Structures are given as C-alpha cells and as structure tokens.
C-alpha cells in the first residue's frame, strides 16, 4: 500500500474537472494507492521521462512517480489525453 500525494498543480487540475470525472479519478487514485502494480490499472512508463509514469482514466491521464521505495506516489498532473505531451514537458527530472 502506498500513500498518494497530489502536487498543488494536480489539485488545481482535479478541482477544474466536472464532478463525475473527478469521482472516477479519485477512485482510480485509491486503487493505485492500494496496489500500484495492479494489472487492472492502465499504467505505463513515460518514454524518455524516467521515473515518471502515467495512469489512464478515460480521456484523462494522471502523471505520477513512485518515491521512497514505492511508499509514496506523487501525482504531478491530471490532464486530458491531448494535453499529456505539453504537461510532461513541464515535469522535473
């Protein structure tokens, strides 16, 4: 089990979404925290951006990374799939 932390920007992203989308994303975050390696979640590493990964939730992508031996998941951004490339460009290494 991992603790899920949202960066300030991810909180802003989540607050700007319709309620039904936000509920789906919060549910996915809960499942991610319970088992980050679950086969049921659509998680993939971001090409060329280690250690960042993305979780697909409908048309949205959650950009996150594991830290402190997999105990903490830091979610940096929650964006529409069309905005993923631009959002990834702003991530720290």
- Asked if the 3-88 domain carries CATH number 3.30.2310.20, the reply is yes
Per-position pLDDT tens, the chain of length 93: 889 999 999 999 999 999 999 999 999 999 999 998 888 999 999 998 989 999 999 999 999 998 867 689 999 999 999 999 999 998 887
Question: Residue 24: exposed, middle, or buried by beta-carbon count in 10 A (0-12, 13-18, 19+)?
Answer: middle
Q: pLDDT value at position 23?
A: 97
Residue 93: what pLDDT? 74
Q: What's the pLDDT at 48?
A: 87
pLDDT for position 74: 94
Q: Which of 34, 69, 49 is nearest to 61 (CA)?
A: 49
């Amino acid at each position: 089990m991992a603790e899920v932390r949202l960066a300030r920007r991810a909180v802003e992203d989540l607050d700007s979404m319709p309620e039904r989308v936000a509920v789906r994303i919060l549910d996915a975050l809960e499942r991610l925290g319970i088992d980050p390696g679950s086969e049921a979640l659509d998680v993939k590493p971001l090409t060329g951006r280690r250690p960042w990964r993305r979780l697909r939730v409908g048309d949205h992508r959650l950009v996150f990374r594991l830290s402190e031996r997999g105990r903490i998941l830091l979610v940096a951004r929650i964006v529409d799939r069309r905005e993923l490339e631009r959002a990834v460009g702003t991530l720290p290494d």
